[in-house]
Structure 1
Amino acid sequence: MHPAKRILLGTAGGLLLLLGVLLLVLPGPGLLLVLAGTVLLARAVPAVARFEEPVRTRATQAAEASVASALRIAGTVLTGLALIGAGAVWGARAVDGLPFAGWSTGLSLILSGLIVLGLLVWSHRRVHGGRAKRRPATGRADREGR
C-alpha cells in the first residue's frame, strides 16, 4: 500500500476511533464509529485487524438488542427525537444559561438524533427484514386476483 494512503487511512481510522470512544459516553453512535475506525485502522496497520471481528460482533449484538422489543424501539425513537429537539433549543439559544449554546452544539445534537434514528431503521431492517414478507398465492382466486 502506498505510504500516503496508509497515513490517510490511519489518520481517518484514529479519528473515528477516538470520536467513537467519546460517543460511548455522549449521545451518539459510539460503538459503530469504533467499528468504522477499527476497520480503517486495520487497513492501514495490519496488526489492528485482530480487533476488528470482536468489535464487529459487539456492534452487531448492540444493533440487534436495540430492536429486540417494541419498548426499546420506542425508547430509541424518543431519544432521537429528544436529541433533535435539544439541538433546536441549543441552536436557537431558547433557554438562557445553556452551556456551549449556539448552532455548533445544536447541529451536533441534531445530527446525533438523525444518526440514532437512521441506525434504528438500519438495525430494524437488518434484524427483522426490509419489508413484510408476502404470503405465496395458495389458490385459484389468489392467482386471478379475487
Structure 2
Amino acid sequence: MSDDKPQRRRSTRAVRRLVLEIVGWVLVAGGIAALVLPGPGLLLLVAGLAVLSEQYEWAERRLEPVKVMAYKAAADGVQTWPRIIASCTGALALAAVGVVWGIRPDPPAWWSLDDDWWLLGGWGTGATLILSACIALGFIVYSFRTFRGVEDPEGAAERKALDED
C-alpha cells in the first residue's frame, strides 16, 4: 500500500502538467489568432506564455517582451481621444456582432450556401464575441486609468510590466 502513494503523486503531477500544457497552448494559439481576428490577442498570448513558463524556460524568456508589448499597446491606445473612441466603438461593435450572431437572423438573399452554414455556432460564438468585447472594454478602462495623462507612457508601460514580476 505504501507504494501506491508515490505512484498516485506521479500520476497527479503528470495530469496537472498535461492540463497546464493544453491550457497554455490553447491560450497561445487563441492569442495568435486574436492578433488578426477580433479579440484580446496580446492578453491571451501573455496568459498562455505565463502558464507555459511554469514548465518551459523558452516560454519564460518570451513572456517579458510580449508583456511589455501588451502594456505599450495599452498605453499607446489611450493617448488621444480619437483612439479611445475608436477602441470603444470597435469593442461595442464586436458586442453587437455577438448579439446578432446569437440571434441568428435568417440568411440574406445573397447567401449561396446552405442555410445551416449561416452564422455557425449560434450563441456559443456570439457569447465568445461578447466576452471578448467586455474584456476589451475592461482593458480600455484599465489602460485609461493607468496610462492616460502620463508624461512618458512607453516608459510607464515598461515599468508596469517589469514591476509585476
Q: What band does the TM-score fall into relative to the shorter chain?
A: 0.7 to 0.9
For 1:89, which of 87, 96, 100 is the aligned residue?
A: 100
* Paired AA for residue 5 in structure 1: R
How far the C-alpha of 1:94 sits from its partner, in A, is 2.7
2:75–2:148 CA contact under 8 A, matched in 1? no
Secondary structure of 1:43 counterpart:
coil
Range 16-25 or range 44-53, more displaced: 44-53
Structure 2 portions without partners, runs of 5+: 1-12, 109-117, 150-165
In structure 1, the residue matched to 2:122 is 102
Matched, 1:71 2:82: yes
One-letter identity of the residue aligned with 1:116: A
Q: Which moves more between the two structures, 120-129 or 57-66?
A: 120-129
Cα 1:101–1:46, aligned 2, differ >3 Å: closer, same or farther? closer
Residues 40 and 132 of structure 2 are in contact (CA less than 8 Å); yes or no, is this contact kept in structure 1? yes
Runs of 4+ in 1 over 6 A off after TM superposition: none
**Equivalent position amino acid for 1:20 in 2:** G
Structure 1 residue 48 displacement after superposition? 2.0
Shift of 1:95: 4.8
Runs (5+) with no aligned partner, structure 1: 130-146
* d(CA) in 1 for partners of 2:54, 2:132: 27
Paired-residue identity, %:
40
Is 1:7–1:44's contact at 8 Å kept on the other side of the alignment?
A: no
Counterparts of 2:121 and 2:59, CA distance in 1:
38
Q: Distance in 1 between matches of 2:106 and 2:147?
A: 40
Task: Give the AA of the match of 2:79.
Answer: A
- Name the structure, 1 or 2, with higher relative contact order (CA <8 Å, separation 6+): 2
1:115 corresponding residue in structure 2 = 135
- Relative to 1, partners in 2 of residues 1:87 and 1:105: Cα closer, same or farther, differing over 3 Å? same
Task: Tell me the TM-score normalised to structure 1 length.
Answer: 0.79
Q: Which residue of 2 aligns with 1:14?
A: 25
Q: Distance in 2 between matches of 1:29 and 1:121?
A: 14
SS of 1:121 mapped into structure 2: helix
> What is the number of residues matched between the two proteins?
129
